[in-house]
Chains A and B, each alone.
Chain A
Amino acid sequence: NAGVTQTPKFRVLKTGQSMTLLCAQDMNHEYMYWYRQDPGMGLRLIHYSVGEGTTAKGEVPDGYNVSRLKKQNFLLGLESAAPSQTSVYFCASSFLAGGRNEQFFGPGTRLTVL
Chain B
Amino acid sequence: LAKTTQPISMDSYEGQEVNITCSHNNIATNDYITWYQQFPSQGPRFIIQGYKTKVTNEVASLFIPADRKSSTLSLPRVSLSDTAVYYCLVGESSNTGKLIFGQGTTLQVKP
Contact = CB atoms under 8 A, between A and B. Distances in A.
Interface size class on chain B is 20 to 34
Interface stretch (A65-73, A76-84, A92-100): A92-100
Q: In the complex, which of the residues B43, B45, B46, B104 has the most CB atoms of chain A within 10 Å of its own CB atom?
A: B43
A4 B45 CA distance: 12
Contacts of B91: 98-100
A105 B45 contact: yes
B98 A58 contact: yes
A72 B66 CA distance: 40
Interface in B52-99: 87, 89-99
Contact of A98 (B44, B45, B93, B103): B93
A5 to B, nearest CB: 11
Interface string B5-23: 0000000000000000000
A35 B93 contact: no
Given A42-B104, A50-B95, A103-B46, 13 more contacts: A42-B102, A42-B103, A43-B101, A45-B99, A45-B100, A48-B96, A92-B43, A96-B93, A98-B95, A99-B33, A99-B91, A102-B34, A108-B41
Q: Ordered nearest first, which 9 A-B pairs have the shortest CB separation?
A: A99-B91, A105-B43, A100-B93, A42-B101, A99-B32, A43-B101, A98-B94, A31-B97, A102-B46
